[in-house]
Amino acid sequence: MLKGKAALVTGSTSGIGLGIARSLAAQGADMVLNGFGDAQQIEHLRRELAAEYGVRVLYSAADMSRPEEITDMIERTTAGLGRLDILVNNAGIQYTAPVEEFPAERWDQIIAINLSAAFHAIRAALPQMRRRNWGRIVNVASTHGLVASAHKVAYVAAKHGILGMTKVVALETATTGVTCNAICPGWVLTPLVQKQIDDLAASRKIPVEAAKIELLGEKQPSHEFATPEQIGALAVFLCSDGAAQIRGAALPVDGAWTAQ
């Protein structure tokens, strides 16, 4: 479905971002991966995706806290793949503490990576999408873009900001072939979350399944995790012609978390 299209997914060397990148590549999109990690592992991943899906796969080590590196990444993507049709803003970090104890430098870092980075990427990518009258911008927000949790002031503020930005971009592109939407995952089973489950099971001396239910129980009524593959499938749909009039939406994938 996406053959001939070029995609950039930020924060895509693991977790949700990698799930989205795989899903887009499986539909024929050429791809730029972005993120931190072991250089050899990332190169192995890049080669693996290219071979498995028969697409071109590049890698950018751009730091999402640095606007000039984000702009350069968009330019290098366009030069390397000839175009940029699909931009997925996924990169994000987390830190938890009560508001009065929240370090100011952590606030600045989270706002920079979780919110400002998406603005800089959209700002740099949008002109060529407008010229071709086709583009898909998918912002990975969170249930925390719709509701809040204690001790996550910067993350919640950034994700609420992502939803506001999504709506503005959708309005400004409403009469074009460019769409902008947000995906709002709840608990997603990534390697990082699996480690939390395993650690909880070990510390409480309970079965892994019981630890999983305990972790999910407070927030996610389904008692099941979403998966990176499910998030990727939704991103693919948002890139399809069937989603051409879905604009400015915040789409939860949260096991009924925000239905409460």
CATH of the domain at 27: 3.40.50.720
Regarding whether 243 and 131 lie in a shared domain, the answer is yes
Q: Is 53 a catalytic residue?
A: no
Instruction: Locate 59 and state its tokens.
Output: 């890698």
Look at residue 69 and tell me if it is in a domain. Answer: yes
Chain mean position to CA 130:
22
Co-location of 107 and 203 in the same domain: no
Give me the number of domains the chain comprises. 2
Same domain, 196 and 83: no
The answer to whether residues 69 and 94 belong to one domain is yes
**Looking at the whole model, is its pTM more than 0.85?**
yes
Looking at the fold, whether 202 and 179 belong to one and the same domain comes out as: no
pLDDT by residue for the chain (260 residues), tens digit each?
999 999 999 999 999 999 999 999 999 999 999 999 999 999 999 999 999 999 999 999 999 999 999 999 999 999 999 999 999 999 999 999 999 999 999 999 999 999 999 999 999 999 999 999 999 999 999 999 999 999 999 999 999 999 999 999 999 999 999 999 999 999 998 887 888 889 889 998 999 999 998 889 889 999 999 999 999 999 999 999 999 999 999 999 999 999 99
One domain, residues 144 and 216: no
- One of 53, 59, 95, 155 is an active-site residue; which one? 155
**Domain coverage including residue 206:** 189-225
CA dihedral 103, 104, 105, 108 (to 10 degrees): 130
Query: Does 145 share its domain with 23?
Result: yes
Residue 260 lies in a domain: no
Looking at the structure, tell me whether residues 123 and 235 fall in a common domain: yes
Residues 69 and 132 both lie in one domain: yes
Whether 118 and 172 map to the same domain: the answer is yes
